[in-house]
Amino acid sequence: MDRGTALLDLDDRRWAELTHAYGSAADIPPLLRQLREFPPATDYRAEPCPDVPVGLVVPYREALCRLPDVVRAMAGVAWDEGRCLVAASAMAVANGHTRLAEAILELEPTLLDAFLDWVRTR
């Protein structure tokens, strides 16, 4: 699904040029691959915080705490629809609403149009 934002491939060497709070972002691709292999939750309402691989617990929690500030800092930047969906989903996750976050990310343009049509006819 194209949301207007190009994502950096996990095998791209440019990860080493990026940084995060702990230094080089070269460690991110292996962590993302680890998340890919993590079993999906069967019920997102079962717990407010999903299980996170051990190596990601501290960065995950710190990132969640910073999400409101990141969204506020980006308030003056023109966002496309895809970036807005990701930001709204991130805010939902930061507040423990993983089911809502998942639903938000599924709102591709045709589904969003159908949903709005449904709302208007109620």
pTM of this prediction? 0.43
Backbone angles phi, psi at 19, to 5 degrees: -130, 160
Give the CA-trace dihedral at 63, 64, 65, 68, to 10 degrees.
100
| Residue range 57-104, pLDDT digits in tens | 777 777 777 767 776 777 777 778 888 888 888 878 777 788 888 888
| Residue range 18-29, pLDDT digits in tens | 887 778 888 888
Tell me the C-alpha distance between 107 and 43, whole Å: 20
